[in-house]
Structure 1
Amino acid sequence: MQAANAGIILGGTRLIYAGDTNEASISIRNSDKNNDYLIQSWLDNDDEKNSAKVPFVVTPPLFRLDRESDNILRIAKVGGNLPSDRETLYWLSVRSIGATPKEITGSSLQLVLRTRIKFIYRPSSLNNDAALNAYRSLSFIRQDGELVVKNPTPYYVTLATLKVGGKDVEEPGMVSPYGELRVKVSGSGAIEWQSINDYGGLSQTARQ
């Protein structure tokens, strides 16, 4: 699956960095037939209050992407002691600034668009196959009008769908490694869910 913003298309909706590799990469394409763009890319911590320097670097951080052309964003680890027993989440932002046509000489409005996708560091001690099946390990407890979703695995699990008694829960969210998520629900009945895998696709349906 792809993430798109105007004419700029990223080659995925998330990017996994395997701890036993030197870098991770993702394609970026300008599908616009008429406009060139200035592309700026960077990584942020998952917690906005965390001011620590992100231990990864994006190259190229700033470049021009001509109309109907492609490039590759590469991300390399440049230090930092990240947990080896669980994944760590960051956010990759790609900002696209359209070129101003030469014929425009007066005042004009220039749109700046941003695409933001999950960037997950997966240490080498963790298994990719286990990550694909982590959603099956989720457990659910009803408590005071809420559904408490517990994740006993070292992987981030993004819920694509969540149903309680056949009724959809809007925007169910993501459960962090060894963490829990609280979702307001009404009614009762069987719980069904799907997750989004490493490739942006949907898992099979699990039930409790």
Structure 2
Amino acid sequence: MKQLLAAVMASFFLFCASAQAGIVMGGTRVIYQEGKREAAITVTNMDTHVPYLVQSWVENLAADDKRPVPFVVTPPLFRLDPEQENILRISFTGGTLPGDRESVFWLCVKNISPSQKGESNKLQINVKSKFKLFWRPKGLGDAKEAWQKLTFTRSGNRLVAHNPTPFYVSFYSLAVGGKEIFEPGMIAPMSSQTWTVSGTGQVTWRAINDSGGITDAAQQ
């Protein structure tokens, strides 16, 4: 019985992985420059046989933040046939956002593999993915070097990072004395962030740039 259950679960996860591989986004993040009419990202169905329904919307970064989101996505729901591509267009609907620093939201994309008629017992997979949407006000300067301007200090068993720039910095990796910090996350503009560390030594970090690429390593 246990072997049968394991086989069923393995098939389920394989099917999930296949479904997730069907829809491919044209980036890992979206930069919305203030003053632009819209920001856009492509969505492609890489599957050769299965069509998908694609639903998209924007959420606040914090799950408990219930304020209205000042963005709409067009089209919000559409069918994407095999080996076809479409473009998600994100428009700013107005509102007051900080003008001296970036703001960040979630672009949510859900792809649904529809069941065929007469296949009511067929497993249907819904996959929801999130991509960072950065609102970048005018006049902030160049974001390319923001990750290099981070500074680090030690307070007891805590590593403290300070970001003096108006840009978010998303870490790809962060290590102290060669020991990696698991999922270091992102540090907000003009703010600090701390992690518990056990080792000492040189701080090494890499970041994710606007195009989703990985920067060189910086050290302090």
Q: Counterpart of 1:180 in structure 2: which amino acid?
A: S
Per-residue CA deviation, residues 71-114 of structure 1 (Å, 9 max, x unaligned), is 0000011111111100000000100011212352x423211001
Of 42, 52, 58 in structure 2, the residue corresponding to residue 43 of structure 1 is 58
Per-residue CA deviation, residues 46-80 of structure 1 (Å, 9 max, x unaligned), is 12221111111100001111111000000011111
Written as runs of structure 1 = structure 2, the 5 A alignment for 1:172-191 is 172-191=184-203
Written as runs of structure 1 = structure 2, the 5 A alignment for 1:99-138 is 99-102=114-117, 104=119, 106-127=120-141, 130-138=142-150
| TM-score of the two chains, using structure 2 as the length reference | 0.88
Deviation at 1:5, TM superposition (A): 2.9
Written as runs of structure 1 = structure 2, the 5 A alignment for 1:2-151 is 5-102=20-117, 104=119, 106-127=120-141, 130-151=142-163
- Whether the aligned pair in 2 keeps the contact of 1:145 and 1:185 (CA below 8 Å) is yes
The answer for the alignment partner of 1:192 in structure 2 is 204
Deviation at 1:38, TM superposition (A): 0.7
For residues 163 and 78 of structure 1, what CA distance do their matches in structure 2 show? 40
Deviation at 1:116, TM superposition (A): 0.7
Per-residue CA deviation, residues 178-208 of structure 1 (Å, 9 max, x unaligned), is 1111111111111111110000111121111
For residues 184 and 173 of structure 1, what CA distance do their matches in structure 2 show? 14
Per-residue CA deviation, residues 20-66 of structure 1 (Å, 9 max, x unaligned), is 21100000000011111111000000122211111111000011111
Tell me if 1:171 matches 2:183: yes
| TM-score of the two chains, using structure 1 as the length reference | 0.93
Aligned length: 202
Long gaps (5+) in structure 1: none
Of all paired residues, the percent bearing the same amino acid is 46
- Whether the aligned pair in 2 keeps the contact of 1:5 and 1:115 (CA below 8 Å) is no
Largest Rg, 1 or 2: 2
Moved over 3 A (4+): none
Farther-moved stretch of structure 1 (84-93 vs 166-175):
166-175
- Whether the aligned pair in 2 keeps the contact of 1:57 and 1:78 (CA below 8 Å) is yes
Q: 3-state DSSP class of the match of 2:105?
A: strand
Q: Counterpart of 1:136 in structure 2: which amino acid?
A: Q
Q: Which has the higher strand share?
A: 1
- Whether the aligned pair in 2 keeps the contact of 1:138 and 1:149 (CA below 8 Å) is yes
For residues 123 and 87 of structure 2, what CA distance do their matches in structure 1 show? 29
For residues 77 and 89 of structure 1, what CA distance do their matches in structure 2 show? 13
Cα-Cα RMSD? 1.3
For residues 60 and 168 of structure 2, what CA distance do their matches in structure 1 show? 15
